[in-house]
Structure 1
Amino acid sequence: MIKLYDKGVYLLNGAEIIEDHVNVLSELKSKTGTQNISKEDAKEGTMAYEILHNHNTSSSKDKLKIKFDKLTSHDITFVGIVQTARASGLEKFPVPYVLTNCHNSLCAVGGTINEDDHMFGLSCAKKYGGVYVPPHQAVIHQYAREMLAAGGSMILGSDSHTRYGALGTMAMGEGGPEIVKQLLSRTYDINMPEVVAVYLTGTPRKGVGPQDVALAIIGAVFANGYVNNKVMEFVGDGIKNLSVDFRIGIDVMTTETTCLSSIWETDTQVKDFYEIHNRPKDYKELKPKAVAYYDGMVYVDLSQIKPMIAMPFHPSNVYSIDDLNANLYDILDEVEKKALVSLDNNKVKYSLKDKVRNGRLYVDQGTIAGCAGGGFENICDAADILNGKYIGADEFSLSVYPASQPVFMELVKNGSIAKLMETGATIRTAFCGPCFGAGDVPANNGFSIRHTTRNFPNREGSKITNGQIASVALMDARSIAATAANKGYLTSAEDVDVNFTKPKYFFDSKIYDNRVYNGVGKADPSVEIKFGPGIVDWPAMTALSEDLILKVVSEIHDPVTTTDELIPSGETSSYRSNPLGLAEFTLSRKDPAYVGRAKEVQKAEKARIAGEDIIAANGELKEVYDQIATKFKIDEKVTQIGSTIYAVKPGDGSAREQAASCQKVLGGFANIAKEYATKRYRSNLINWGMLPFLYDGELPFANGDYIFVKDIKKAVADKVSEIKAYVVNKGMKEFTLRLGELTDDEREIILKGCLINYYRG
């Protein structure tokens, strides 16, 4: 089904695969008749290299400084981004910047907070020359596919699922500060990434959808880090057997592999997509050169992939639906044991075996939604499966969210919506809520199957700390519909008899023409920005001091810590425009005592800055200073005092910068990790002036310990990679922290204390 190559591979004419070996260049010269072939030249044969090279503003092929063509954000990120950019000197948007409103459009918590954010966005689009997409019009990524993507271009978005590779656009999801850099006409600085080919061959079986293929790939590459921070380049003879909607459905899920970005070969079907969307000039044919070298290959036989399910609590926890049904109790027992890690062995009772009825797994809820599930073809196929069926009058419910108003309108016109409504399903407007726990929350102990992007803990809206627990499994819309047709009993789409009608899609742009504000190139400085009472400026942040005292205030040993666990999604989304208000939720579902501990440490730092008595603010520090004095002479006035957390591998998942900024506004000055799950989380730490320390080995410290780092400012400035640190309350026990590779700009940002300070000078 899926094979991972142990070595790099050469791809000849987009078809022939030659694994790297000692005499491979001789073999290539023989096959191509070309004498001047080298691995370095072949690396430049990828589509990814061509696009990155065309957007690189540096003179180096290895150290890239990228400028993107377009930017996009949604309503739980754009307020903080624009506020940061304004504080850093923003005058106007230098490239098209689209502000969509799809995350807080149905969340009723917080009074007028959500709509206040929307009005802030509209006023900023007018003042700085941006695009404003009102609530319910489109989810962020569907609008980008319909209106922004272009062959050979690059788009940066402040949402982790910013992926438009199937349309020939290299897109990346990053934290807000990276968007700020582009708004200030700065660059996205990365090393040239490795590129891994995803070779697709064969034709999907009837009933298999894009989510099935995506989950199979995620299951094969996530745990081993095969594509971590690399570009996934989709090639192969199987691409022609996939509709563009199918390709998009696979592509958007590449985020869950932890890759950096994705790009696909384009063909006449993609050309048709652009013509349907009235943008024929945006099509560009993309394919690898005659000889292209890849740092690895994921070989996928589409004909062997069956309907899949990603069980709680990660998209990589993958089984085929047939295997699950055939080995029900064994697999459910395995899933429950894995869940204990994600739930931190919490006292909340968690059982999936309770969902077995008459030997079948019963599901409480089905949802088809968002940038992954809400596409035209997914919903049409689901309607065909459910045509003439009924979902029943028991616990099971089904909701469907078309990804945009144009998609919704076409589904109304072709009768798909009527078919679905007749079954008992409910139809909603474009909304991302079911993907992050702000919509379709099931009852306590509920089990939800969703064609969305993630199934991390609490993504379904439950709160373990309040005794609530529910869980999500990811599935394709077709198998969700098959399950609905069986009134909630888990069913593979291969097990239903259906005639897929495959109606043609017609895009009507009048909805956007009449409703979306387009101010590109029309910035009006006279416009007053509308601030609601929930929109609060970033607090002042100080520069890095000479020496540093850190107190460990949380210690997490899960194999991976998601951004959802660092700052929860769901009900917190209404507070994302208030840095201090949102910070109250930091680690609330993983370590509820974290906020209180961090604030206690922060009292001492506030006293230091104000020139007040530090010991009076935190009595623990007297002993800390006494211990440090046994080895070093320090000046308390220039010794910063902050908190840190330890996590094995933090930062999987969302691009949201708040996973880092919330720690910073509570006085966090560092993370210590064995490794960082994604580049974007590490970048968020740096952009908020936090030290991204690395430590591999048995920990010399524990939660509650104080760590002293001498001459930290000098070490960062002098580009030192390894730094001596001391566990103060363990007799100044010495150990070594690493900083990893940092660019000159990143070092300066850390020294200044945050990106805002860096741009202020």
Structure 2
Amino acid sequence: MVKLYDGGAYLINGAEIVADNQDAAAVLKSRLGDCVPEKAEAARNTIAYGILKEHNTSGSMDKLKIKFDKLTSHDITFVGIIQTARASGLEKFPVPYVLTNCHNSLCAVGGTINEDDHMFGLTCAKKYGGVYVPPHQAVIHQFAREMLAGGGRMILGSDSHTRYGALGTMAMGEGGPELVKQLLNQTYDINMPGVVGVYLDGEPIPGVGPQDVALAIIGAVFANGYVNNKVMEFVGPGVEKLSADFRIGVDVMTTETTCLSSIWKTNDEKIKEFYDIHGREDDYAALEPGAVAYYDGMIYVDLSQIRPMIAMPFHPSNTYTIEELKANLMDILDDVEKKALVSLDGAVDFTLKDKVRDGKLYVDQGIIAGCAGGGFENICAAADILKGTSIGADEFTLSVYPASTPIYVELAKNGRLADLMQTGAIVKTAFCGPCFGAGDTPANNAFSIRHSTRNFPNREGSKLQNGQISSVALMDARSIAATAANKGYLTAATEIDANFSNPKYFFDKTIYENRVFDSHGAADSSVDIKFGPNIKDWPAMCALTDNLVLKVVSEIHDPVTTTDELIPSGETSSYRSNPLGLAEFALSRKDPAYVGRAKEVQKAEKAREEGKCPCEAFPELKPMWDKIKEAFPEMGSENTGIGSTIFAVKPGDGSAREQAASCQKVLGGWANIANEYATKRYRSNLINWGMLPFLIEKGDLPFSNGDYIFVPDIRKAVQEKQTAIKAYTVGDSLKEFTLRMGELTDDEREIILKGCLINYNRI
């Protein structure tokens, strides 16, 4: 089904894979004669290399400085981004910047907060020359597919699922500060990423959808980091067997592999037709790798062998075929419980075994929604399966969210909307809420199957500190519909006899023309920005001091810590325009005591910055301070910052939300300490908020939660590009250990030295 090559591989004429092993030279010579390129030359023949080269401004393909063609954000990120850019001197959006309103669309939490953010976005689009997509018109990524993507282009979005590779656009999801840099005509700086080929062969059988293919790939590559921070490039004869919608559905889920970006070959009529349908013929480009391309890894996928999949709680990589789950139901549910003990810290009693009725797994809820599930073909296939049936009148419910109003209108015109609603399903407007716990939140102990993007713990409404838990499994829309037709009993789409009608899609461009504000790049400086009372400026942040005293205020030993655990989604989204208000939620579901601990330490730093005695403001500090001063008499409040830090094994999986880092910063955080960082984007968020991304070797930690750490000469270490940094655990004595710092660009070092990106641009 899915095979990973041990090393790199060559691709000849887009069709033949040659593994990079001891036989490679002979095989290549037999195919190409004397025209065998050097490996480095062949690596330049990937689609990804060509696009990156076109957008690189550094002059070096080893150290990239990327300028993106377009930017996109939604309404839990764009306020903070624009506020940061304004504080740094923003006068005009230098490239097209689209502000969608698909996350805080309900306007139901926090009084006027959500709609205030929307009015902020509209007035900023007018003032700075952007595009404003009103609530319920489209989810961010569907609008980008329909109106922004283009062959060979690059788009940067402040949402982790910014993936438009199926349409020939290399897109990346990053934290807000990276968009701020683009708004200030700065660059996105990375080393040349590795490129991994994804060779698709064969053709999916009826009933298998894009989520099934995506989950099969995620299950094969997540745990081993096969594509971590690399570009996934989809090639092979199987690509042409997939519709544009099918490719899009696979592509958006590549985020869950922890790859950097994705790109697909587009040299076929189906992608050209997508652009034609949307009235953007000139944006199509036929992309394909060169005659001989070299990839740093290769994933072989036999599409004909893929079967309906399910990702059990609490991660998209916890994958099984539905057939396998049903055949080994109690054993797999037992394994899920064991994994949940780690993910949930034993905070609640968790089981799915009570969902087993007469040997079958009963599901409480089905959701088909958002950038992954809300596509036209997914919903039409679900309607075909459900037509003439009923979802029943028991606990099971089914909600469907088309990804854009144009899709919704076409479903109404072709009758699929009526077909769905006649079964008892509810069809709702374009909204991302179900993906992060702001819509269709399950009941306590309920089990939800969703064609959406994630099923992390603490995400879809769970509040462990209140004894509330719900669990989500990811599935394809087709199998969700089959389960709905079976009144909530888990069923694969391949188990039923359905006639898939595959209706043609017609896009009505007037829907957007009549409602979306598009400045066409014209800024109007006379427009006054509308600020609601919840929209706050960032607090002042001081520069990095010569030395640091850090108190460990949270210690997390889960194998992976998601951004949803660092800053919960759901109800907190209404406060994302208020840095201090949002910070109150930091780690609230993972470590409820974190905020209080961090604030106590911050008292000392605030006193220090005001020229007062830090030990008087925070008496607990005094014996530690005195102990450090015995060994380092030159340290004092004038040259030593005081703050908090957290330890996590592998933090940052999941969302691009910068607030996972900024909330720690505004609470006085100076650093994270980790064995590794799950994603580049989380590490970048730390850096852009002036936090040190420390690394420590795996093994017994030299400190515990509540301990103090002294890091002398840290400012000098950053300036001098040191990678090994001496630190000391402070107790009865000072015990030395080593922290490490991964590679930092010169600009990143300067950002850390000045305290944050705002200071970097302002000072």
TM-score scaled by length of structure 2: 0.99
Q: Say if 1:28 and 1:37, in contact at 8 Å, map to a contact too.
A: no
Letter in 1 for 2:251: D
**Other-structure match for 1:268:** 269
Q: Secondary structure at the match of 1:18?
A: strand
**Other-structure match for 2:725:** 723
Q: Say if 2:131 and 2:517, in contact at 8 Å, map to a contact too.
A: yes
Matches within 5 A, 1:81-480: 81-266=81-266, 267-346=268-347, 348-480=348-480
Q: Secondary structure at the match of 2:527?
A: coil
C-alpha deviation, 1:28, in angstroms? 2.2
Tell me how far apart the structure 2 counterparts of residues 566 and 96 of structure 1 sit (CA, whole Å).
31
**Other-structure match for 1:641:** 642
Number of aligned residue pairs: 760
**Other-structure match for 1:692:** 693
Q: Say if 1:29 and 1:37, in contact at 8 Å, map to a contact too.
A: no
Matches within 5 A, 1:727-742: 727-729=729-731, 731-742=733-744
Tell me how far apart the structure 1 counterparts of residues 69 and 677 of structure 2 sit (CA, whole Å).
28
Q: Secondary structure at the match of 1:314?
A: coil
C-alpha deviation, 1:635, in angstroms? 2.2
Letter in 2 for 1:269: K
Letter in 2 for 1:313: F
2:638 is the counterpart of 1:671: no
Tell me how far apart the structure 1 counterparts of residues 629 and 762 of structure 2 sit (CA, whole Å).
36
Q: Deviations over 1:5-40 (max 9, x none)?
A: 001000000011111124534542442234461111
Tell me how far apart the structure 1 counterparts of residues 499 and 433 of structure 2 sit (CA, whole Å).
31
Q: Say if 2:613 and 2:637, in contact at 8 Å, map to a contact too.
A: no
Q: Say if 2:163 and 2:170, in contact at 8 Å, map to a contact too.
A: yes
Q: Say if 2:18 and 2:27, in contact at 8 Å, map to a contact too.
A: no
Q: Say if 2:311 and 2:474, in contact at 8 Å, map to a contact too.
A: yes
Q: Deviations over 1:98-142 (max 9, x none)?
A: 000000102511011000000000000000000000000000000
| Long gaps (5+) in structure 2 | none
Root-mean-square deviation (Å): 0.8
Q: Say if 1:107 and 1:438, in contact at 8 Å, map to a contact too.
A: no
Seen in structure 2, the aligned counterparts of structure 1 residues 478 and 731 have a Cα distance that, compared at 3 Å, is: same
**Other-structure match for 1:58:** 58
Q: Say if 2:107 and 2:115, in contact at 8 Å, map to a contact too.
A: no
Letter in 2 for 1:253: M
Letter in 2 for 1:424: G
Tell me how far apart the structure 1 counterparts of residues 107 and 5 of structure 2 sit (CA, whole Å).
45
Letter in 2 for 1:672: I
Deviating above 4 A after TM superposition, structure 1's stretches of 4 or more consecutive aligned residues are none
Q: Say if 1:25 and 1:37, in contact at 8 Å, map to a contact too.
A: no
Tell me how far apart the structure 2 counterparts of residues 731 and 228 of structure 1 sit (CA, whole Å).
40
C-alpha deviation, 1:710, in angstroms? 0.6
Seen in structure 2, the aligned counterparts of structure 1 residues 216 and 730 have a Cα distance that, compared at 3 Å, is: farther
Matches within 5 A, 1:699-718: 699-718=701-720
Q: Secondary structure at the match of 2:293?
A: strand
Q: Say if 2:197 and 2:295, in contact at 8 Å, map to a contact too.
A: yes
Letter in 1 for 2:306: I
**Other-structure match for 1:547:** 547
Q: Deviations over 1:460-502 (max 9, x none)?
A: 2121111111110000000000000001000000011110000
C-alpha deviation, 1:574, in angstroms? 0.3
Tell me how far apart the structure 2 counterparts of residues 447 and 399 of structure 1 sit (CA, whole Å).
14
**Other-structure match for 1:744:** 746
Tell me how far apart the structure 1 counterparts of residues 82 and 578 of structure 2 sit (CA, whole Å).
13
Q: Secondary structure at the match of 2:554?
A: strand
**Other-structure match for 2:577:** 577
C-alpha deviation, 1:626, in angstroms? 1.7
Q: Secondary structure at the match of 2:638?
A: helix
Tell me how far apart the structure 2 counterparts of residues 145 and 262 of structure 1 sit (CA, whole Å).
14
Q: Say if 1:124 and 1:130, in contact at 8 Å, map to a contact too.
A: yes
Letter in 1 for 2:603: K
**Other-structure match for 2:492:** 492
| Among candidates 734, 758, 761, match of residue 759 of structure 1 | 761
C-alpha deviation, 1:729, in angstroms? 1.3
Q: Give the share of equivalent positions with the same residue, in percent.
A: 77
Tell me how far apart the structure 1 counterparts of residues 132 and 677 of structure 2 sit (CA, whole Å).
34
Letter in 2 for 1:491: T
C-alpha deviation, 1:459, in angstroms? 2.1
**Other-structure match for 1:650:** 651
Tell me how far apart the structure 2 counterparts of residues 35 and 225 of structure 1 sit (CA, whole Å).
34
Q: Say if 2:107 and 2:113, in contact at 8 Å, map to a contact too.
A: no
Q: Secondary structure at the match of 2:631?
A: coil
Letter in 2 for 1:234: F
Tell me how far apart the structure 2 counterparts of residues 445 and 204 of structure 1 sit (CA, whole Å).
34
Q: Say if 1:459 and 1:472, in contact at 8 Å, map to a contact too.
A: no
Seen in structure 2, the aligned counterparts of structure 1 residues 107 and 312 have a Cα distance that, compared at 3 Å, is: farther
Tell me how far apart the structure 2 counterparts of residues 436 and 500 of structure 1 sit (CA, whole Å).
30
Letter in 1 for 2:194: E
Q: Say if 1:650 and 1:676, in contact at 8 Å, map to a contact too.
A: yes
Matches within 5 A, 1:481-630: 481-630=481-630
Q: Say if 1:149 and 1:169, in contact at 8 Å, map to a contact too.
A: yes
Letter in 2 for 1:691: L
Seen in structure 2, the aligned counterparts of structure 1 residues 120 and 144 have a Cα distance that, compared at 3 Å, is: same
| Long gaps (5+) in structure 1 | none
Q: Deviations over 1:28-65 (max 9, x none)?
A: 24422344611110110100000000000001110000
Letter in 1 for 2:643: G
Letter in 1 for 2:438: A
C-alpha deviation, 1:392, in angstroms? 0.4
Tell me how far apart the structure 2 counterparts of residues 705 and 499 of structure 1 sit (CA, whole Å).
63
Q: Secondary structure at the match of 2:95?
A: coil
Letter in 2 for 1:286: L
Tell me how far apart the structure 1 counterparts of residues 732 and 396 of structure 2 sit (CA, whole Å).
56
Q: Secondary structure at the match of 2:190?
A: strand
Q: Deviations over 1:64-90 (max 9, x none)?
A: 000000000000000000000000000
**Other-structure match for 2:6:** 6
Q: Say if 1:200 and 1:237, in contact at 8 Å, map to a contact too.
A: yes
TM-score scaled by length of structure 1: 0.99
Q: Deviations over 1:282-304 (max 9, x none)?
A: 00000000010000011000011
Letter in 1 for 2:123: S
Tell me how far apart the structure 2 counterparts of residues 357 and 436 of structure 1 sit (CA, whole Å).
29
Tell me how far apart the structure 2 counterparts of residues 214 and 17 of structure 1 sit (CA, whole Å).
21
Letter in 1 for 2:555: E
Greater alpha carbon shift after TM alignment, 612-621 vs 675-684: 612-621
C-alpha deviation, 1:735, in angstroms? 0.3
C-alpha deviation, 1:614, in angstroms? 1.2
Tell me how far apart the structure 1 counterparts of residues 227 and 425 of structure 2 sit (CA, whole Å).
38
Q: Say if 1:25 and 1:38, in contact at 8 Å, map to a contact too.
A: no
Letter in 1 for 2:331: D
Letter in 2 for 1:741: E
Q: Say if 2:363 and 2:447, in contact at 8 Å, map to a contact too.
A: yes
Tell me how far apart the structure 1 counterparts of residues 70 and 283 of structure 2 sit (CA, whole Å).
13
